Amino acid sequence: MASPLILLTLTTLLFHLPSTLSQSAPAPGPAGPINITAILVGGGQFNSFRRLLNETRVLDQLPNQLNNSNQGMTIFAPTDNAFQNLPAGTLNGLSEEKKVKLVLYHVLPKFYSMDDLVTVSNPVPTQAGSSRGSLGLNFTGRASQVNVSTGVVETQINNALRKDFPLAVYVVDKVLLFQEDAPAPEGASSPPGTKPSAKAPSSPAADGDGATPSKNGGGRIVDMGMGLVGGLVLFCMAFL
């Protein structure tokens, strides 16, 4: 008879789980839920990032994800100055989907201390990563001197608003912009002689229907969102 055995195992697990958790919880503190808004407000110069997190609704997902993950999370918070230094119209020019993707690019689905970041193997997946494994971040440097690179932007990680498991929030003085829509296959770039003329608005025509790529891009983001929600649901069910 297998089922009593399974039941027994489950019961054993259930009884051991809480004690395992409390044993491994290092901080006895009041440990209320982590309030990301409060962390950013406390930092004093992260209003743009906080607004973007809120506006994209990513702020609603993060606490749940953090609560339901045993991996923790790492967030790179660009300063207000970083947002001011963006070329005019950068954010306003983004679709809602692209904004979400940009925000998620600042989130790693795992906790990394500064020491971890020095030794981590590149590229490190971000929350914006697609199934194609793109959209990672690269980290270089040595103790307390770590740079993060997107391929477009490189900047130093200066400071931590929070550095204890399960959530690290690091200050960056640049918005981590990434390469738009993946470097097209090397072979696909136009031959030297055919540099697209700046005055020709019809240049995308060479690639066929210009609307198709962005449509696909949106689809991927929806898929990703569904995947996240589905994953959370599955995770919650595992605990019921």
Ligand X SMILES: *[C@@H]1O[C@H](CO)[C@@H](O)[C@H](O)[C@H]1NC(C)=O
Name the β-bridge partners of 156: 147
Q: For residues 38 and 211, which CB has a smaller minimum distance to ligand X in the complex? A: 38
Least distance in angstroms from the C-beta of 211 to ligand X: 27
Least distance in angstroms from the C-beta of 198 to ligand X: 27
Name the β-bridge partners of 77: 171
Question: Which strand (E) or helix (H) includes residue 75?
Answer: strand 73-78
Q: For residues 141 and 203, which CB has a smaller minimum distance to ligand X in the complex? A: 141
Least distance in angstroms from the C-beta of 40 to ligand X: 9
Q: For residues 17 and 205, which CB has a smaller minimum distance to ligand X in the complex? A: 17
Least distance in angstroms from the C-beta of 141 to ligand X: 4
Least distance in angstroms from the C-beta of 66 to ligand X: 9
* 108: nearest Cα among 91, 92, 90, 120: 120
List interacting residues with ligand X (CB under 6 A).
33, 35, 37-38, 41, 51, 54-55, 63-64, 67, 122-123, 138, 140-141, 147, 149-151, 154-156
Rounded CA-CA distance 216/172 in Å is 31
Enumerate the H helices of 25-57 as residue ranges.
36-43, 47-55
Q: For residues 50 and 224, which CB has a smaller minimum distance to ligand X in the complex? A: 50
DSSP annotation of 201: T
Q: For residues 41 and 226, which CB has a smaller minimum distance to ligand X in the complex? A: 41
Report the amino acid identity of residue 18.
P
Reduced to 3 states, what is the DSSP secondary structure of residue 199? coil
Least distance in angstroms from the C-beta of 75 to ligand X: 15
Tokens at residue 37, please?
Answer: 């808004």
* 110: nearest Cα among 141, 72, 145: 72
Q: For residues 226 and 235, which CB has a smaller minimum distance to ligand X in the complex? A: 235
* 68: nearest Cα among 166, 169, 168: 166
Q: For residues 60 and 223, which CB has a smaller minimum distance to ligand X in the complex? A: 60
Query: How many Cβ atoms from other residues are within 10 Å of residue 200's Cβ?
Result: 10
Rounded CA-CA distance 225/204 in Å is 29
Which residue's CB atom is positioned nearest to ligand X? 151
Least distance in angstroms from the C-beta of 27 to ligand X: 16
